Amino acid sequence: MFDLPQIAVEVTEHQMLAVTCGCGHTTRAQAPDRVAGPTNLGEGITAVAVYLSTVQLIPIDRVAAAIEALYGIAVSTGWVSSALERAAAAVEPASEAIKEQIAGSGAAFFDESMTKVCGKRAWFHAAATGTLTAYHADEHGRGLGAITAFGILDAFAGVAVHDAYAAYYSDVINQDGITHALCIAHIQRELRAVAEHDLAAGKDGWAAQLQALVGDMFRWRDTWHAAGHEQVPKFKLDKIIAEWDTLLARALDVHPHQPGRLAGQTHARRLALRLRDRKDDYLRWLTDFTIPATNNTAEQSVRMIKTKTKVSGGFRTLAGLQQFLTLRGYLDTLRKNGRHLITDLRHALQGNPWIPAPA
């Protein structure tokens, strides 16, 4: 049987003596660094508050209620907010190191999505590897300004796996060092939607046939990878490319340019053009098995921020969003590295944040 003992809060009293000299001058002892006032809450309870808010995604008022119920300590929502602020500042050195390590990695995943700030839409960006996670949000929203302010792609020289958002291809980012690999899972979802909802595509069948081709790609890749190969055999790759080109040429005939529409293109035509023009980036995972086929690692990082939005309704300020993202990135990195989250949070609040060793 595993159980908890009766929880009792440890209280430490600090006595700062004051001594008055014969001349009348009084000398008072200095309080320890982390003792800021007559009553203080320590790093342990602060770490729990941060964990409940950032990992378990509990709203601030319920964090305060949970702490009182679990530990018998009455805290205000203002104290919880200040605890999050102190913790974000404490892990900032680790957060910067994480971003530098992602920028220096051989492959990284990138994604962007929306949350809410003051009830309005706000964009945030995520970058991740198998062991690292970082986030960024600022007044530039989804745009190129936010991507460059994030500071990862400017210094990146590996394989960038993403969802084909045009800003990732901007010349402002150093394209000479970046190899783009586009998420095939996004295409599977788009093809399914086009096949089901576009009458012309449904009648012709090109989208459904391209879906089937993608499924064939996965089967060949899995089989040959399991057999110890590094890429799909050339005869099969040539056949896949020929069928890819044929289906997209057919799609563009089925969905011609339409004057009067936005840029003269339906969604199905825009998809077909993107698949044609970015073919090498979409099929890169077949020619190098070290390159992932999907952007799932970044999407998983984004998903929990979306869950936070659903649970709490969003954030009050953009600074509060970035504060949450800083903590979330640090804690997700701890999780990926098998660290004990609350222990490492306590150490960070004591001035010693855990920083992952460069790979």
Asked if residue 211 belongs to a domain, the reply is: yes
Q: Cα separation of 352 and 345, whole Å?
A: 9
The reported pLDDT for the residue numbered 358 is 87
Please name the residues in contact with 317: beta carbons below 8 A apart, sequence gap of 6 or more: 117, 118
Quote the domain boundaries for residue 279: 184-293
Residue 327, classified by CB atoms within 10 Å of its CB into exposed (0-12), middle (13-18) or buried (19+), is buried
The reported pLDDT for the residue numbered 35 is 74
128-162: pLDDT as tens digits: 999 999 999 999 999 999 999 999 998 899 999 99
The reported pLDDT for the residue numbered 166 is 92
Distances (CA, A) of 250 to 246, 254, 260, 268, 270: 6, 6, 22, 12, 14
Check residue 59 and give left, alpha or beta (phi > 0: left; psi -120 to 50: alpha). beta
Structure tokens at 69: 């119920």
Asked if residue 277 belongs to a domain, the reply is: yes
Asked if residue 130 belongs to a domain, the reply is: no
Asked if residue 171 belongs to a domain, the reply is: no
Place of tokens 């293109």: 265
Asked if residue 352 belongs to a domain, the reply is: no
Q: Which amino acid is at 325?
A: L
Please name the residues in contact with 333: beta carbons below 8 A apart, sequence gap of 6 or more: 94, 98, 131, 132, 133, 356
Check residue 336 and give left, alpha or beta (phi > 0: left; psi -120 to 50: alpha). alpha
The reported pLDDT for the residue numbered 260 is 66
Q: How many CB atoms lie within 10 A of CB 71?
A: 15
Asked if residue 288 belongs to a domain, the reply is: yes
The reported pLDDT for the residue numbered 46 is 95
The reported pLDDT for the residue numbered 261 is 59
Mean pLDDT per 10-residue interval, the chain, length 359 residues: 86 88 91 74 93 95 95 93 96 97 96 94 96 96 93 93 94 87 95 95 96 97 96 96 98 87 77 96 96 95 92 90 97 97 96 92
- Provide the number of structural domains found in the chain: 1
The reported pLDDT for the residue numbered 129 is 97
H or E segment to which residue 181 belongs: strand 179-182
The reported pLDDT for the residue numbered 159 is 96
The reported pLDDT for the residue numbered 74 is 92
Q: How would DSSP label each residue in 123-165? A: EEEEEE-SS-EEEE--TTTTSHHHHHHHTSGGG--SEEEE---
Asked if residue 35 belongs to a domain, the reply is: no
Asked if residue 327 belongs to a domain, the reply is: no
Cβ–Cβ under 8 Å, residues 207 and 194:
yes
